[in-house]
């Protein structure tokens, strides 16, 4: 079951206009919300980021927070899996093709769910391969826009190289990855770039920073040089679907030094375990975060 503009229906029945600005211009925003045991994780934070993306491209929010929770709750209930990824997208709506935003359009609202595939224990043990690529995307990566051609091109280049992710650098500095944020560890300190127009403010990024603070794990949010990335002891990517995934090779070279090279590091393992505990505690709570 999917949701389109107020109605629940099978995906085959969901149809939109070819003049929809989402189709013509990629003029829309989206969210992906992980659902564990049929409970959405960090829903209010996802809805707050959605509001901020909508504000930045001047689309009025078609629903209140309560309405979003209700509709998302129904999609979760109407789909067969206990753990799901809820994808929602809002486009500006259909209009005669013209670049400038037309006023007073009725936004198109679409929601679907898919089974949430967890990273396998084998992948967590081996870690994943990544390549480092120049970040040629636009300068508003803070908007969670459906215009993802740059991200798709970069991820395809990674896949062509047999890698799970493309880690991106701009002007000699780490930004993020094609569909995740990036953390590195150097000499026992976790480093990640600050939020800016150059990265998506990840919900998982925030959870990981909360975990680091709560457990007094040394960390700094600061600009990270490409040279620091390439000589890091550990590299991880974070996202709602990948959680905390260690990267163990960069451009085919093992991450880290000596015995530990090419294996997930101790800080990644600790933060991964703490993330699982955090998720479990939140999902057990009567009203969850």
Ligand X SMILES: Cc1ncc(COP(=O)(O)O)c(C=O)c1O
| Least distance CB 107 / ligand X (angstroms) | 21
Q: For residues 33 and 75, which CB has a smaller minimum distance to ligand X in the complex?
A: 33
Q: For residues 175 and 249, which CB has a smaller minimum distance to ligand X in the complex?
A: 175
Catalytic residue among 67, 74, 103, 144: 144
- The CA distance from 285 to 280, in Å, is 9
Residue 236 β-bridge partners = 183, 246
Angle between helices 43-56 and 65-78 (to 10 degrees): 120
What does the per-residue mask of binding to ligand X show for 82-121, with x meaning CB under 6 A?
----------------------------------------
Q: For residues 1 and 153, which CB has a smaller minimum distance to ligand X in the complex?
A: 153
SS3 198: coil
Which residues have C-beta within 8 Å of that of residue 11, sequence separation ≥ 6? 1, 2, 112
For residue 271, report the phi and psi dihedrals to the nearest 5 degrees: -70, -35
Asked whether 95 and 231 are in contact (CB, 8 A), the reply is no
Q: For residues 182 and 232, which CB has a smaller minimum distance to ligand X in the complex?
A: 182
Instruction: Indicate which single residue of 75, 112, 174, 200 sits in contact with ligand X (rule: CB under 6 A).
Output: 200
Taking CB under 6 A as the binding criterion, the range among 16-24, 155-163, 238-246, 252-260 that sits at the site for ligand X is 238-246
> Taking CB under 6 A as the rule, does residue 202 contact ligand X?
yes
Instruction: Indicate which single residue of 179, 185, 190, 268 sits in contact with ligand X (rule: CB under 6 A).
Output: 179
For residue 20, report the phi and psi dihedrals to the nearest 5 degrees: -60, 130
Q: For residues 238 and 249, which CB has a smaller minimum distance to ligand X in the complex?
A: 238
- Closest listed residue to residue 98, CA positions, set 187, 189, 25: 25
Asked whether 85 and 34 are in contact (CB, 8 A), the reply is yes
Instruction: Indicate which single residue of 240, 250, 256, 268 sits in contact with ligand X (rule: CB under 6 A).
Output: 240
Residue with tokens 């939020």: 195
> Taking CB under 6 A as the rule, does residue 271 contact ligand X?
no
Please confirm, yes or no, whether 195 is among the known catalytic residues: no
Which residues have C-beta within 8 Å of that of residue 173, sequence separation ≥ 6? 193, 223, 224, 225, 226
> Taking CB under 6 A as the rule, does residue 135 contact ligand X?
no
Per rule CB under 6 A, count of chain residues that contact ligand X: 14
Taking CB under 6 A as the binding criterion, the range among 3-11, 113-121, 232-240, 271-279 that sits at the site for ligand X is 232-240
CA angle at 264 for the pair 259 and 269, rounded to the nearest 5°: 120
List residues with catalytic annotation: 144
By the criterion CB under 6 A, which residues form the site for ligand X?
A: 32, 151, 176, 179-181, 200, 202-205, 238-240
């Amino acid at each position: 079951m999917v949701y389109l503009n107020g109605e629940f229906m099978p995906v085959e029945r969901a149809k939109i206009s070819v003049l929809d600005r989402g189709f013509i211009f990629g003029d829309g925003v989206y969210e992906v919300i992980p659902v564990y045991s049929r409970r959405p994780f960090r829903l209010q934070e996802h809805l707050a980021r959605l509001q901020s993306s909508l504000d930045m491209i001047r689309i009025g929010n078609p629903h209140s927070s309560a309405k979003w929770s209700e509709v998302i709750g129904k999609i979760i209930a109407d789909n067969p899996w206990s753990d799901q990824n809820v994808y929602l997208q809002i486009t500006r709506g259909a209009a005669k093709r013209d670049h400038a935003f037309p006023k007073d359009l009725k936004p198109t609202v679409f929601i679907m769910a898919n089974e949430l595939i967890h990273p396998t224990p084998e992948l967590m043990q081996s870690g994943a391969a990544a390549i480092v690529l120049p970040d040629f995307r636009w300068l508003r990566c803070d908007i969670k826009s459906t215009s993802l051609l740059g991200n798709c091109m970069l991820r395809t280049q990674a896949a062509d190289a047999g890698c799970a992710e493309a880690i991106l650098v701009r002007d000699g500095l780490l930004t993020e990855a094609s569909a995740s944020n990036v953390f590195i560890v150097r000499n026992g300190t976790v480093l990640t770039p600050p939020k800016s127009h150059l990265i998506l403010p990840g919900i998982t990024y925030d959870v990981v920073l909360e975990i680091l603070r709560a457990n007094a794990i040394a960390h700094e949010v600061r600009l990270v040089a490409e040279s620091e990335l390439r000589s890091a002891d550990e590299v991880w990517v974070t996202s709602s679907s990948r959680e905390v995934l260690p990267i163990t090779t960069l451009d085919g070279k093992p991450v880290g030094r000596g015995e530990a090279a090419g294996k997930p590091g101790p800080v990644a393992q600790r933060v991964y375990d703490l993330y699982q505990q955090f998720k479990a505690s939140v999902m057990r709570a009567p009203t969850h975060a």
